[in-house]
Structure 1
Amino acid sequence: MSQLSQTPATNQKPYYAQDVDFEDLAKRDPDWAAICKTSKQTKWIDFQDPKILLQLTKSLLKCDFNLTSLDLPDDRLCPPVPVRWNYVRWIQDLLDTTSDSYSDRYDAARQVVGLDIGVGASAIYPLLAASTRTEWRIAGTDVDQHSLDYARQNVESNGLSKQIKLALTTTDAPIIPMEALRLEELDFVMTNPPFYTSEADMQASYNGKNMAPSAVCTGSVNEMICPGGDVGFVLRILEQSLQLREKVQWYTAMLGKLSSLQQIVAKLKEHEITNFAVTCLQAGHKTKRWGVGWSFGDLRPRIDVARHGDLVHAVLPNPSAQTIAVPLMSTEWAGKKVDAALKELDVRWQWRAGSATGVMEATENVWSRAARRKKKFDGQQSGGKDVSMADEGEDDGDGEEEVPVALAVKIVASDEKVEVRWLRGADHMVFVSFCGMLKRALTAHE
C-alpha cells in the first residue's frame, strides 16, 4: 500500500495520511528491509535506536522523493519525513490556490522563491520543496555553523545547489534577513522552530504523556529550546511581517501544540490580520503538529487549504466558500440564472456555459439595494446609457493603471446547487453580501 494518500491526478505528490507501511517500504528499499526485524507473532522496530530512525528517513526520501543522499551528525535532529512533507505540501497548496490566475491548480512554470528559517543539518524542507518543484528556489538560514555544514553537503550531494542557497545568520539579526539574502520579495517563509522555552519545559512535556516518546530525540539545545518556545519564535516573525507586509506573500510556521496555534491566531486577530490559514499536519495516528500561515495580500486560499485537517472551531478563519442549494434544478437552469444575474451588474464577468463555471470581479459592492438604486438614477440622468466593467472587456495592455478588485469569486453550477468560491478581497462581509444576493436571484420565484 502506498505511503501517501491519494489525490486527483495533478502531477503532485499527495499528503501522507496514514502511518508508514513498513512492509511495503521494505519491498521498495533493500536498506530498510535489512533493518526490519520480524517474527511470526509480531513486527517491531526499535525507534529508540538513532541508526534505525536515520535509515527510515533516508529510505522514505529515496523511495518517495528520489533524494538519494542524507548525512547527519549524531548530535543533531533526524527529521521524520511524513509530517515535514505535509508541511511543504500545504505551502504548495497555499500558493497554488492564491495565484493571480485564479486557477487553483499547480502551475509548473510559476517561479517561486521561499525561505526556510532554521534549515538544520538535514535541510529537509528545502530538499523536499526543490525536489518536487523544479521552478522553486529556496533560501535557508541557520545560526549553527555545524548544522549548516551538513546541510550544504546534503544539498550538494542531491544535486540541488542551483535551487537551494544556504546562509549563516545570528540570533540578533532580522529573522527574515531580506537585505542579507539580497531579496526584494518572497513567495513564502517557513519555519519549524524550537518548541520549548527551557529544558524544564521540554521535560514537563515528556512527563505529561502517558507513554514514552515513540522515537529517540537527538536534537541539540538550539534545535529544541529558544526564548518563548515556538510561540515566541513565531511572534518574532509576526513582528517583522508587520513591517515587510506584502513583500512576502505567505508567512508560515509549524507549531508543536494546539495551544500554540491558538495563541498565534489570537495575535493575528489582534493585529486585524484576517487572511490566514491553519492546518493539522498529522500523518497517521501518532504525531500531530499544527501549521499557520498569514498574508497581507487579498488572494484567498481555497477553503480546504485554509481550514486543513482536524482543527477546533476557535482557530478557523472565515469560510472562503458557500454552497447555495437549488433543489430539483438542473446544471443548465442554475447556470442560466447565474449568468443572467451577473450580467445585470457592473462587474467583469466571464461565463463558460460548457463547464458551467464563471469568474466575477467587482471594484465595489454593486449588488446592494442602494447600489442598484444609484445605478438606475445614474442611468436615467445619462439617458439610459450604462457602461459596465463587462463592456470594457479584458485588459487591452495599454499600460493603464489596474483598478483595485474589491471582490473576486469563482462560481460553479451543478445539479441542485451552486458553489461560490471567494478568490480575492479584503472584506469577508462583502463576500457574504454577494452570496446573499446570488441566493435571492437563484431562489426567487419567477
Structure 2
Amino acid sequence: MSHKRKREDDNSANPYVQERPHFGELAEQFPVFRPFVHTDKNENPYIDFKDSEAVRTLTWCLLKRDFGLDVKLPADRLCPPVPNRLDYILWIEDILKETLPTDQFDMAHGIDIGVGASCIYPLLCCARHKDWKFDGTDIDETSVRIARDNIRKNKMNDRITIQYNSIPERIFLLDEGKKYTFCMCNPPFYASEEEVEQSLQTKQAEPFAICTGTKNEMITDGGEYGFIQRMMNESLIYKDRIMWYTSLIGLKKSVRPLVDQLESFGINNYVVSEFIQGRTKRWAIAWSFGPKRLHKVHNLVEYRAKLHFVSYMPKPVSYVREQVIAILQDLNISFEQDGNDPNVITGKPRAITWSRAARRLLNKKQKIEENELPIFEFQFALLEEEEEEEREGDKQLDGGCRIASVWLQGDKRTAFESFWFHVERRVQEACGVDRGSTFNSKSGAVSEA
C-alpha cells in the first residue's frame, strides 16, 4: 500500500500504509475469520476480495483489533475498507492541527453527511479522540437505525448523534446557532445505474473487491460532482458555521470542475489532496471561509490556490535577508525572525503601506491609519541556492538564493499578492536586476530586455 498524502507527524501516519494486515495472524486472533483465509503455493495467507462475506469479516476484525470497535456490517450495505477511511480521517486531522489551537482540536465537533449503516467515520474519529463529538445524517432510514445500534453497542451515545434526512436534496441539518469544526462526506459516485454499468465495463481489469452498496449509496442526482456542488452551494449559506467543509472524490474527472466552482464563488481558501491505498485512488477537497490557510497539508500542485510565490536572487542569502528586513522596516511592517532560523521571517501588516498612495503619505511623514486586526499574515523563507535539490531544466545560480513567500492567513488575496510583488521588485533592484533587465524568477537568470 502507498499514498501521496505527506504527513508531518510520522506517529499519526496510516499504519496500514507501512504494513498490510497479516491474514494468518488475524485468523489466529479471530476464529470467525479463519474460514476465509487461504494459502498460496508459497504458504502465504490471502483472502478472496470478491467474497463479500470475507471482506466484511476482515473489516470487522480490523475495527475490533486496532480500534476496540464492535461494528455490525449488514450484507446489503457498503462495507467500508478501514485503510481508506482512516486516510481521510488522518487528512482531516492534519488540516485541523494546522489551523486550530490544541485545545480546540481536542474538542472538535464533526458532521458526517451520509453516515451509512456502519457509522464508520464517527466511530473511528471518536475512538481516536476521546473528546470529539459527531453529528451524522442519512437519507436511508434502515442505515440510520443500524448506525444508532452501532453507536449504542460501542457506548458512544453521548458523543454521536444520528439524524434521518427526509429531504435528499438537502445536504446539511445544522442545529440552530451551533458551530462545527468540520464536515466530511463520501458521496455517491454515479448519476444513474447506466453510469455504474458503463464504469464497470470500461475498467481495464475486473474490480478488485466486490461492492455491496445500495442505490442510495451508489447513485445521486448529478453524480458526485452534483452532490459536492450542492454542498458548496449550501456552504455559501452557512459559511463559517462550519470551519472546514470537506468531501472525498472518487472520480478524477470531478476534481477540476469542483475547483473551478469554488473559484467562481470567490472561495480561494481550499486544498485538494490525493490518497492511494493498494489499487484504489481517491481525492479529497476541503474549503473554508475562515482566514487560516494551509501550507503544510499535502496539496496537489495542479489544483493549488495561489498561496506560494518563489523568486531566485543572484546574491547570497545574508545580503537578501538584509534587504528584506530594510524593506519591511521602510514599510513600517512589524515582523519577527524565527529564533532557530533568522532566515525565516513572519509578519502581520495592519495597513497597506506599499501602495503609491501610502508611500506618498509616508514621504510626507503623515500617519497611515492601521486596522485593528492584521490584513494578512505572511512568511518569507530564504535558502542558499546550493542547499536546494537539483531542479531539472533550471539554471543554478552561483551564490544566489531563493525567497519563498507564503500567505499564512487572511481573506484578501489581492493585498497579499500586491505586497509580495512590491517586496520582490525592490529586492530584485537591490540585487542588481534593474528596470532595463528582465528577471526570470523561475530559473534565476538575468537577461537584457
TM-score interval w.r.t. the shorter chain?
0.7 to 0.9
Mapping 1:221-232, distance limit 5 Å: 221-232=215-226
The yes-or-no answer on 1:152 pairing with 2:148 is yes
Aligned to 1:167: 163
Aligned to 1:70: 71
Q: Deviations over 1:147-173 (max 9, x none)?
A: 122222323333433332222221257
Aligned to 2:330: 344
Unaligned stretches of 5+ residues in structure 2: 385-400, 433-449
Mapping 1:361-380, distance limit 5 Å: 361-377=348-364, 379=365
Aligned to 2:379: 410
Report if aligned partners of 1:255, 1:291 keep a CA contact under 8 Å in 2.
Answer: yes
Displacement, 1:339? 3.6
Mapping 1:248-397, distance limit 5 Å: 248-284=242-278, 286-302=279-295, 304-305=297-298, 307-308=299-300, 313=302, 316-325=303-312, 329=316, 335-356=321-342, 357-377=344-364, 379=365, 382=366
Displacement, 1:268? 1.9
* RMSD over equivalenced CA pairs, Å: 3.3
The one-letter code matched in structure 2 to 1:46 is: D
Compared with structure 1, are the counterparts of its residues 24 and 290 closer, same or farther at alpha carbon in structure 2 (3 Å cutoff)? same
Aligned to 1:397: none
Displacement, 1:174? 3.6
TM-score where L is the length of structure 2: 0.80
In structure 2, C-alpha distance between the alignment counterparts of 1:420 and 1:163, rounded to whole Å: 41
Compared with structure 1, are the counterparts of its residues 2 and 219 closer, same or farther at alpha carbon in structure 2 (3 Å cutoff)? closer
Unaligned stretches of 5+ residues in structure 1: 390-401
The one-letter code matched in structure 2 to 1:70 is: V
Displacement, 1:337? 4.5
Tell me which moved more, 353-362 or 132-141: 353-362
Displacement, 1:374? 2.6
Mapping 1:16-31, distance limit 5 Å: 18=17, 21-23=20-22, 26=25, 30-31=29-30
Paired residue for 2:138, among 122, 126, 142? 142
Compared with structure 1, are the counterparts of its residues 111 and 346 closer, same or farther at alpha carbon in structure 2 (3 Å cutoff)? farther
Report if aligned partners of 1:57, 1:79 keep a CA contact under 8 Å in 2.
Answer: yes
3-state DSSP class of the match of 2:281?
Answer: coil
Paired residue for 1:196, among 167, 190, 193? 190
Report if aligned partners of 1:19, 1:283 keep a CA contact under 8 Å in 2.
Answer: no
In structure 2, C-alpha distance between the alignment counterparts of 1:8 and 1:24, rounded to whole Å: 30
The one-letter code matched in structure 2 to 1:75 is: D
3-state DSSP class of the match of 1:55?
Answer: helix
Compared with structure 1, are the counterparts of its residues 174 and 338 closer, same or farther at alpha carbon in structure 2 (3 Å cutoff)? same
3-state DSSP class of the match of 1:282?
Answer: strand
Report if aligned partners of 2:115, 2:137 keep a CA contact under 8 Å in 1.
Answer: yes
3-state DSSP class of the match of 1:293?
Answer: strand
Tell me which moved more, 39-48 or 143-152: 39-48
Aligned to 2:63: 61
In structure 1, C-alpha distance between the alignment counterparts of 2:3 and 2:236, rounded to whole Å: 39
The one-letter code matched in structure 2 to 1:190 is: M
Report if aligned partners of 1:29, 1:59 keep a CA contact under 8 Å in 2.
Answer: no
The one-letter code matched in structure 1 to 2:336 is: Q
The one-letter code matched in structure 2 to 1:363 is: R
Compared with structure 1, are the counterparts of its residues 143 and 436 closer, same or farther at alpha carbon in structure 2 (3 Å cutoff)? same
Mapping 1:95-244, distance limit 5 Å: 95-99=96-100, 110-172=106-168, 174-178=170-174, 181-182=175-176, 184-244=178-238
The yes-or-no answer on 1:37 pairing with 2:23 is no
3-state DSSP class of the match of 1:121?
Answer: coil
Displacement, 1:355? 3.5
Compared with structure 1, are the counterparts of its residues 287 and 29 closer, same or farther at alpha carbon in structure 2 (3 Å cutoff)? farther
Q: For this pair of structures, how many residues does the alignment match?
A: 411
Displacement, 1:247? 1.8
Tell me which moved more, 192-201 or 334-343: 334-343
Give me the identity figure in percent: 30
Q: Deviations over 1:44-82 (max 9, x none)?
A: 420111222123323333454x23312111111100122
Compared with structure 1, are the counterparts of its residues 233 and 442 closer, same or farther at alpha carbon in structure 2 (3 Å cutoff)? same
Report if aligned partners of 1:47, 1:53 keep a CA contact under 8 Å in 2.
Answer: yes
Aligned to 1:437: 422
In structure 1, C-alpha distance between the alignment counterparts of 2:178 and 2:106, rounded to whole Å: 17
Q: Deviations over 1:18-50 (max 9, x none)?
A: 486243883797339844322234754201112
The one-letter code matched in structure 2 to 1:87 is: Y
Report if aligned partners of 1:108, 1:135 keep a CA contact under 8 Å in 2.
Answer: no
Report if aligned partners of 2:2, 2:17 keep a CA contact under 8 Å in 1.
Answer: no
